[in-house]
Amino acid sequence: MRIAVIPGDGIGGEVVPAVLPALELLGEHFGLDLSYRIFDWGAERWLAERVGLPPDALDLLASDYPTILLGALGDPRIPDMAHGRDILLGLRRGLDLYVNHRPFTPRGSDRAIALFRENTQGLYAGVGGTVSHGRHPAVAIDECVYTRETVEKFLRYCLRTLSESGRERVTLVHKSNAVPHTGRLWQEVFRAELARFPKLVGNEEYVDSFCYHLVRDPSPYDGVVASNLFGDIISDIGAALMGGLGLAASASVCPETGCALFEPVHGSAPDIAGRGIANPYAAATAVALMLDHLGHLPAAASLRRALAAAARTDSATPDLGGHGTTGTFMAEVMTRLEKN
Amino acid sequence: MRIAVIPGDGIGGEVVPAVLPALELLGEHFGLDLSYRIFDWGAERWLAERVGLPPDALDLLASDYPTILLGALGDPRIPDMAHGRDILLGLRRGLDLYVNHRPFTPRGSDRAIALFRENTQGLYAGVGGTVSHGRHPAVAIDECVYTRETVEKFLRYCLRTLSESGRERVTLVHKSNAVPHTGRLWQEVFRAELARFPKLVGNEEYVDSFCYHLVRDPSPYDGVVASNLFGDIISDIGAALMGGLGLAASASVCPETGCALFEPVHGSAPDIAGRGIANPYAAATAVALMLDHLGHLPAAASLRRALAAAARTDSATPDLGGHGTTGTFMAEVMTRLEKN
Ligand SMILES: CC(C)[C@H](C(=O)O)[C@@H](O)C(=O)O
Ligand SMILES: CC(C)[C@H](C(=O)O)[C@@H](O)C(=O)O
């Protein structure tokens, strides 16, 4: 199993190298045939050569490295993450990673909410433009575009996964009262697909009302399916309810090809980059999601146990309540993995 | 001053009549020349005659009733609030009520966050459609459309209001890393307008990151400006941080014409409608916003004091911690207003 590792920018370049030894150790323990190759895509290359995702990248990944571990992208020198958009949205769309799975466990709950976000279309379709009068933009348009095909394969995959994993309820988050065309397409397909999974109870909620209820009390939610932008916003609210971005990771998957990208939800955090204090928990959780995806459930479980235990020690980073660094935290994780 | 009163559906028809006597009493006390006319627009008329906003409504309101008090719209018999969209979005767009002011005071804070939402364009512009193959939709599109003119007049109004009311910071919420055309238009105009208000410190935040930070700790935020959909979502999160939709109200204004619409943020709540237990606090707060807008600051302040005091009594509705009803709560408010 060959993994493409893209550390990326800022703390991405710290947490990703920090978690790789854990991956290697798990590989030895569980007899997994792992290898990886590091790709230097990110801000530095963009600034030097204006290259985000190199032209041959998608072909290379699809054929040789269908499993991708990404750190973080974002650099204060590059407005609005132009390079990050090129790389991250390029990978999501180019490899058709249309399912983004962002589970989150609200503080005080013992069960994760299974959030699935469509990852390639909607307002992220890249369709739009600007009409100028002279040097000034007069009208700007971004189009939210959804094909039935993508909504259908996305929802079918989500509902099957939820149903097979014993989930009972699934909520469609939409805004068809104000954004009617894509909203109705989602509702129609949701209702049709739901009929195939008689054990799942479905409900539909407007995105504003959903966010209101999620913040007040997340406990009634179980599975949640949402379009690209709504899923983006919900996953950050989920991270806040979890107690911080330091813990959240996500998997972007194309179920048909098996291509998949794993990443912490946090950004490149330029404010703390370079000081060795970034919390590697989310990056390690991305590795656990990757092991799940590859079918190595015992290895994933072992990593999660070690992480949870290490997070309770003083070696954990300050955001977890410890006094440690990226290094001391991962050393604690390694000690636990070695004992296993 | 002539007010159009639209009770609307569900609890709208309970809370609006409940707060009108308070408005009348304030009118007497403060010598305001108030009159109102009730309009029966809502679900019943839609179901009977397929009329949402009647054809002559906009002209009538613009000329004779530029101040509007709306209860709530929404009825389980009408999918996706088709009538509510027709009436509410029809009023917002038709009267060019492009500024939606939704202040919220997070629990534990003593200062409201001043949220301004653009109210007529973006994904609410009503532009889009569906391409069908046979009987099935194949591609659905909703367009997010912004004109520079609207963004400019909106932001200029917000920044002036924030600056004049002594606010120090203003955050632009956007998503230009994924939704670049409208995102950049907003950023460009925001930066240009900000230069006119040297006392305001501006910052810009991606909507996902903004929601994350808002849920974790709203205290750093002061003024917030957002496009239509983001403002919709943020105001519901704001209501959750306030402790419930029962308290939040909003003002939709066209600064040039003075036309304005005031409403509680809560919906028609069909689950509790008809039982006399709906909390009229938000509808009364909408009246206070209306009095502010009309320049009757002492009357608005008097109403707010009476509301705050009544909310702490046992006559308040259960969601406020009391054992009362719509009627007992407003009776408590009236007693306090009479004593003033
Ligand atoms: C960086 C940005 C384009 C991206 C997104 O909006 O999808 C990020 O917020 C995420 O959630 O992965
Ligand atoms: C009812 C709906 C169309 C409306 C909106 O999205 O603007 C509501 O949620 C609001 O916030 O006033």
For residue A110, what are the CA distances in angstroms to A39, A214, B186? 37, 16, 41
Instruction: Give the Cα separation of A171 and A222 in Å (integer).
Output: 8
pLDDT digits (tens, 9 = 90+) for A31-84: 999 999 999 999 999 999 999 999 999 999 999 999 999 999 999 999 888 999
- Which residue among A87, A232, A252 is best mutated to probe the pocket of ligand 1, counting the most ligand atoms within 8 A of its Cβ? A232
What's the CA-to-centroid distance between B119 and ligand 2, angstroms?
Answer: 10
Q: Please report the pLDDT score of residue A80 as a whole number.
A: 84
Residue with tokens 């348009």: A141
Instruction: Go through the domains of chain A in sequence order and give each one's CATH number.
Output: 1-102+248-340 (3.40.718.10), 121-236 (3.40.50.2300)
pLDDT band of A246, cuts 50, 70, 90:
confident
Q: Please report the pLDDT score of residue B1 as a whole number.
A: 82
For residue A235, what are the CA distances in angstroms to A74, A228, A303, B52, B209? 19, 11, 23, 36, 10
pLDDT band of A1, cuts 50, 70, 90:
confident
**What's the mean per-residue pLDDT of chain A?**
96
Question: Would you say residue A245 has pLDDT above 90?
Answer: no
pLDDT digits (tens, 9 = 90+) for A181-229: 999 999 999 999 999 999 999 999 999 999 999 999 999 999 999 999 9
Residue numbers in B near A138 (CB within 8 A): 147-149
- Report the relative pairing of strands A260-264 and A249-253 from DSSP bridges: antiparallel
Residue numbers in B near A239 (CB within 8 A): 212
Contact, B94 vs B58, CB < 8 A? yes
pLDDT digits (tens, 9 = 90+) for A84-113: 999 999 999 999 999 999 999 999 999 999
Q: Which atom of ligand 2 is nearest to the CA of B235?
A: 11
Instruction: Give the Cα separation of A195 and A236 in Å (integer).
Output: 30
What's the CA-to-centroid distance between A119 and ligand 1, angstroms?
Answer: 10
With a 6 Å cutoff on the Cβ, whether B232 touches ligand 2 is: yes
Beta strands in A163-295 (DSSP E): 169-174, 201-206, 223-226, 249-253, 260-264
Q: Please report the pLDDT score of residue A37 as a whole number.
A: 97
* Closest Cβ–Cβ partner in B129, B208, B239 for A181: B129
Helix axes A297-311, A12-29, angle to 10 degrees: 130
B188 in reach of chain A (CB within 8 A): yes
Q: Please, what's the b/e burial string for B230-241 (b: 16 or more CB within 10 A of its CB; e: otherwise)?
A: bbbbbbbbbbbb
pLDDT band of A339, cuts 50, 70, 90:
confident
Instruction: Give the Cα separation of A114 and A170 in Å (integer).
Output: 9
Mention every residue, 6+ apart, whose C-beta is less than 8 A from residue A59: none
Q: Please report the pLDDT score of residue B135 as a whole number.
A: 87
pLDDT digits (tens, 9 = 90+) for A262-285: 999 999 999 999 999 999 999 999
Contact, A83 vs A75, CB < 8 A? yes
Give the closest residue to A182 by CA, choosing from A157, A148, A156, A159: A148
Helix axes A207-216, B228-242, angle to 10 degrees: 30
Q: Looking at the CA of B117, name the nearest ligand.
A: 2
Question: Would you say residue A340 has pLDDT above 80?
Answer: no
Instruction: Name residues 209-248 of chain A within 8 A of B (Cβ).
Output: 209, 211-213, 215-216, 229, 232-233, 235-237, 239-241, 244-245
Q: Please report the pLDDT score of residue B339 as a whole number.
A: 85
**What's the mean per-residue pLDDT of chain B?**
96
Residue type, B262: F
B86 in reach of chain A (CB within 8 A): no
If you average pLDDT over residues A156-176, what whole number do you get? Answer: 97
- Report the relative pairing of strands A223-226 and A201-206 from DSSP bridges: unpaired
Tokens of A76: 């204060």
Which residues in chain B show pLDDT less than 70? 340
Instruction: Give the Cα separation of A151 and A154 in Å (integer).
Output: 5
Q: Please report the pLDDT score of residue A135 as a whole number.
A: 87
Q: Please report the pLDDT score of residue B246 as a whole number.
A: 84
Contact B80/A184, CB-based, under 8 Å? Answer: yes
B152 in reach of chain A (CB within 8 A): no
With a 6 Å cutoff on the Cβ, whether B212 touches ligand 1 is: no
Give the closest residue to B246 by CA, choosing from B316, B319, B178: B319
d(CA B339, nearest CA chain A) in Å: 36
Contact B147/A138, CB-based, under 8 Å? Answer: yes
d(CA A192, nearest CA chain B) in Å: 12
